[in-house]
Chains A and B, each alone.
Chain A
């Protein structure tokens, strides 16, 4: 079945860039998403990319998609302490209903 994998933890210094990586197995993925979860809160959609795109930029966020390698990354420029959270990668395939989530990457931003 479909699978999405992420590393569990990333620690960066405030002001540096963060890069969170994700790999997936579903070759029929149509959209890929990045969600952010702050402590005690639900998931907030940060950004998404359509599978025929290579890159999407939205302010401090840059999403890169390598469809050949089934690799997705989220780059956060000038990382702030408020960016500390768990980041989930997710993909949706041809079925267009079922989001498959990775296990989440916990980002810790050190002052």
Chain B
């Protein structure tokens, strides 16, 4: 079984709709992250959480919110989706140590 899972894997929605993307991990890591990937731009950090009570904004948090429901679960919400939020979204986790992050398979979101 995958260590970091994301649901849904694909989603098409309309402008103005509220969307939630979910991430679960079985790695036992405290740190979790949400990124978005756009062609030619690499990955940009949206939000990150170091533990259940810790939530921090990344470089592009506007239009997004998150919830850390448990150590293993970190969800990303788009309160009112807009077309320029069409992207590939990745969840990642990390433990302490060398800081390497482990990524989920991604959610492809299309906002029409």
Residue of B nearest to A95 (CB): B99
**A96 CB contacts on chain B under 8 angstroms:** 99
Q: Which of A31, A41, A43, A88 contacts B99 (CB 8 A)?
A: A31
**Interface 1/0s, chain A 9-50, versus B by CB < 8 A?**
000000000000000000000110101000001111100101
Is the pair B106, A99 in contact by a Cβ cutoff of 8 Å? no
Provide the residues of chain A in CB contact with B44, threshold 8 Å.
Answer: 101
Inside 8 A of B102's CB, which chain A residues have their CB? 45
Contacting A at CB under 8 A, from B41-57, are 41-45, 48, 50
Do residues B100 and A33 form an inter-chain contact, with CB atoms below 8 A? yes
Given contacts A41-B105, A42-B105, A103-B40, contact A98 B45 (CB under 8 A): yes
A45 to B106, CA, bound (A): 15
Interface size, chain A (Cβ < 8 Å): 23
How many interface residues does chain B have, given as a range?
20 to 34
Complex interface: chain A residues within 8 A of B48 (CB): 97-98
B interface vs A, CB < 8 Å?
4, 31, 40-45, 48, 50, 58, 90, 92, 94, 98-106
Partner of B42, one of A41, A50, A97, A101: A101
Bound CA span A102–B94, Å: 19
Task: Report 26 cross-chain contacts, Cβ distance below 8 Å, ordered by A residue.
Answer: A31-B98, A31-B99, A41-B106, A42-B105, A42-B106, A43-B43, A43-B92, A45-B100, A45-B102, A50-B98, A88-B42, A92-B99, A96-B99, A97-B94, A97-B99, A98-B45, A98-B48, A98-B58, A99-B43, A99-B101, A101-B42, A101-B43, A101-B44, A102-B42, A103-B40, A104-B40
A8: Cβ under 8 A from any B Cβ? yes
| Residues on the B chain within 8 Å of A101, using CB | 42-44
Residues of A within 8 A of B101 (CB): 45, 99
Chain A 70-111 interface mask (CB, 8 Å, partner B; 1/0): 000000000000000000100010001111011110000000
